Amino acid sequence: MIKLIITGGNGQLGRAINALYKDREDICCVNTDVDDLDITNLEAVQEFVAKEKPYAIINCAAHTAVDACEDQVDLAYKINAIGPRNLAIAAKANGAKLMHISTDYVFAGDADTPYREFDEPGPQGVYGASKLAGERFVEKFADRYFIIRTAWLYGDGKNFVKTMLRLAETMPEVGVVMDQVGSPTSTTELAKAMDALLFTDNYGTFHGTCEGVCSWADFAEEIFRLAGKDTKVKRITSGEFAAKAKRPAYSVLDNYMFRLTTDFTFADWKDAIREYMENLEY
Ligand SMILES: NC(=O)c1ccc[n+]([C@@H]2O[C@H](COP(=O)([O-])OP(=O)(O)OC[C@H]3O[C@@H](n4cnc5c(N)ncnc54)[C@H](OP(=O)(O)O)[C@@H]3O)[C@@H](O)[C@H]2O)c1
């Protein structure tokens, strides 16, 4: 039996991994969330991993509230940096692989071609900086690791798609940012990509996002079109939206390492969102 510890197992990505493996009798997912295992607690992590002796730890736990991280700096670093450090230490001590999930927000967003794994990071806010610190701890303390940077995730949980559909219930027009571009990525696609690496020795840092590029405003328009809503998208600037945390304007990742080292290809973002909405109740 292949045992996987999935931290943040009840989050969007954690659920997608569970869905992917639900019919696999040879794989056992040990899901944990903050109440079962607080990844910021080194001793608890060491004890848990030593008891479970997993094949791999998949770290889906994170402080993902980008604006809140600006006010909760210590908490952001505890969860996004110390947490993966603890998991890396425990993975190494117990001979387990570590798959850690990171983000496009480690980059500055001032490029005009998609970021590759070999490009220099330059986070703009606390969330991105704390996630970058987490990556560095994983590189330093784990032996056999995969770091996967993804972006604009949606799946089973709170996300942009559901927010747009909720707003469309009551609003004829929704203001959505048009000057940040990226690649909306389905957790189902990402879980398949993770599976393509997990059982290999193909270690390192990978960018993993759906193919194609759009702005948040384009994404919202596609969501309304697929949902058959006539809600209008008012294309606004990041300045007008005035979020607390600065976000990268150009947040496009090139899945270069996947292309160089695997046969895996991500679906186009438009195909992935269509499939997601076909299975969504709203
Ligand atoms: N969402 C995105 O758009 C996006 C984009 C790029 C990268 N990512 C990365 O992708 C990964 C998965 O994201 P997601 O959207 O699935 O996140 P999510 O839905 O917010 O799930 C994160 C999970 O981590 C748990 N958690 C928080 N603090 C914890 C702690 N101290 N110990 C253990 N568990 C803890 C949360 O529990 P509670 O809910 O109880 O706090 C939640 O279940 C994260 O690494 C994130 O940084 C996400």
| 66-93 tens-digit pLDDT | 999 999 999 999 999 999 999 999 999 9
Give pLDDT, residue 177. Answer: 97
* 241 CA distance to ligand 1 middle (Å): 24
* 65 CA distance to ligand 1 middle (Å): 9
What integer is the mean pLDDT of 10-34?
97
In this predicted structure, the answer to whether residue 221 has a pLDDT above a threshold of 90 is yes
pLDDT band at 14 (very low <50, low <70, confident <90, very high): very high
Cut 0.95: pTM above it: yes
Give pLDDT, residue 11. Answer: 97
The answer to whether 18 and 60 are in contact (CB under 8 A) is no
Give pLDDT, residue 282. Answer: 78
* Structure-token pair, residue 212: 């194609």
pLDDT in tens, 105-160: 999 999 999 999 999 999 999 999 999 999 999 999 999 999 999 999 999 999 99
pLDDT band at 242 (very low <50, low <70, confident <90, very high): confident
**Best of 7, 30, 34, 132 to mutate for ligand 1, by most ligand atoms within 8 A of CB?**
34
What integer is the mean pLDDT of 13-20?
98
65 lines ligand 1 (CB under 6 A): no
Q: Which residues does residue 114 pair with via DSSP β-bridges, in sequence order?
A: none
103 lines ligand 1 (CB under 6 A): yes
Place of tokens 């997608």: 16
DSSP 114: P
Secondary structure string (H, E, C) spanning 34-63: CCCCCCCCHHHHHHHHHHHCCCEEEECCCC
* 101 CA distance to ligand 1 middle (Å): 9
Give pLDDT, residue 4. Answer: 98
CATH match for 2-157+184-212+251-269 among 3.10.20.600, 3.20.20.70, 3.40.190.10, 3.40.50.720:
3.40.50.720
152 lines ligand 1 (CB under 6 A): yes
| Of 218, 220, 232, 102, nearest in space to 162 by CA | 220
Phi/psi of residue 244, each to 5°?
-65, -50
5 lines ligand 1 (CB under 6 A): no
In this predicted structure, the answer to whether residue 281 has a pLDDT above a threshold of 90 is no
In this predicted structure, the answer to whether residue 55 has a pLDDT above a threshold of 90 is yes
In this predicted structure, the answer to whether residue 17 has a pLDDT above a threshold of 90 is yes
In this predicted structure, the answer to whether residue 268 has a pLDDT above a threshold of 90 is yes
Across all residues in the chain, what is the average pLDDT? Answer: 97
Which residues, other chains included, contact 213 with Cβ-Cβ below 8 Å and sequence gap of 6+? 181, 182, 183, 252, 269
| Of 147, 148, 143, 255, nearest in space to 210 by CA | 255
* 39 CA distance to ligand 1 middle (Å): 12
61 lines ligand 1 (CB under 6 A): yes
75 lines ligand 1 (CB under 6 A): no
The answer to whether 88 and 146 are in contact (CB under 8 A) is no
pLDDT band at 237 (very low <50, low <70, confident <90, very high): very high
**Best of 33, 138, 188 to mutate for ligand 1, by most ligand atoms within 8 A of CB?**
33
What integer is the mean pLDDT of 205-217?
98
DSSP 94: T
Give pLDDT, residue 36. Answer: 92
The answer to whether 29 and 6 are in contact (CB under 8 A) is yes
**Best of 60, 255, 269 to mutate for ligand 1, by most ligand atoms within 8 A of CB?**
60
